[in-house]
Structure 1
Amino acid sequence: MKFSTRTDVQAPHDFVFASVSDFEYFERQALRRGVKLRRTDGFGARGQGVAWTGEFTYRGRQREAEAQVAQFDPGTFYTIEGTTGGLEVTYRVEVIALSRRRSRLMMSIDLRPQTLSARLLVQSLKLAKGNLSRRFETRVAEYGAKLADRHAARAV
């Protein structure tokens, strides 16, 4: 099952890509939300090979996850591949310059079940796909607006 969306951001390409590939920022956000996250490749690196393990609570159960940056093309895109509970997840982020001050941010998430319980989870998600797609699109659009605001505040 795949979710994908895109949004245009009123900020330069380099700023947008630097922001969406700031893994340390996203690590801090996950920790604030109660995820027990640990970087397994060492700190400071940005690019292919960056890896994490984590524990989080979902639907009342403690879950474990592993993820790593599988592809990283500086300034263009990156792909994170991960596994959790029999579910393989691929997350892709791509940034395209539309002009000097405007960029297009594209994100997609692909869920592939590997076990029966994961298939049941994905099946239940398919029933709510319309609602989940709208929520995903809204969150990406809000993130794009936040990036534009951060860039505007920096430029002043």
Structure 2
Amino acid sequence: MRFSSREDIEAPIEHVYGKLTDFYGFERSAMRRGVKAEREDPSAPIGVGTIWHVRFKFRGKPRAADVELVKLDENDGFEMSFKSGGIDGLTTLELVPLSPHRTRMILKLDLSAKTLAARLLLQSLKLAKSNLTHRFKTRVADYAEEIETSYTGV
């Protein structure tokens, strides 16, 4: 199952990349929302190979996931893989400079099932795919707008 979104942001690629790779900020934001995200080695700098152990509630049940930063290209984007139960996923973020002050952000989320229970969960998500796709694109657009606003200071 794949979700994808593409947004053009009125900000230079360096600014967009800086905001999207603020992993410390994402850790704090997750904690404010009740998600427990702990880095495997908190003293090490964040880079390729960094692993977070994440605990959260989904559909009323406690879940756990391991998230690993598998690719980090300066000003080009990154990839993160995750495993949660029988579901594996890959999040790919690409940045493309359109002009000196405009950047295209392309975000893809691929989910695959490894167990029967995970297949059933993904199947139920597929039934609501149009709603989930709309929510995914809305969240990405809102975040792109936040990045743009942080650059322009509006």
TM-score, normalised by the number of residues in structure 1: 0.94
Q: Which ranges in structure 2 are unaligned for 5 or more consecutive residues?
A: none
Distance 1:42 1:27 in 2: 11
The aligned residue for residue 37 of structure 1 is 37
The answer (yes or no) to whether the contact 1:97–1:103 under 8 Å persists in 2 is yes
- AA at the equivalent of 1:99: S
Alignment of 1:90-101 (within 5 A): 90-101=90-101
Residue 76 (1) aligns with residue 76 (2): yes
Relative to structure 1, the CA distance from residue 34 to residue 90 in structure 2 (aligned partners, 3 Å threshold; closer, same or farther) is same
Relative to structure 1, the CA distance from residue 43 to residue 142 in structure 2 (aligned partners, 3 Å threshold; closer, same or farther) is farther
Alpha-carbon RMSD: 1.2
The aligned residue for residue 146 of structure 2 is 146
The answer (yes or no) to whether the contact 1:41–1:49 under 8 Å persists in 2 is no
Shift of residue 26 of structure 1? 0.7
The aligned residue for residue 123 of structure 1 is 123
Percent identity between the two aligned chains: 40
The aligned residue for residue 61 of structure 1 is 61
Shift of residue 59 of structure 1? 1.0
Distance 2:46 2:40 in 1: 13
State the secondary structure of the residue aligned to 1:109.
strand
Deviations 1:80-114 (A, max 9, x none): 00100110011111111111111001101100000
The answer (yes or no) to whether the contact 1:95–1:103 under 8 Å persists in 2 is yes
Q: Which ranges in structure 1 are unaligned for 5 or more consecutive residues?
A: none
Distance 2:55 2:41 in 1: 17
State the secondary structure of the residue aligned to 1:151.
helix
- AA at the equivalent of 2:56: F
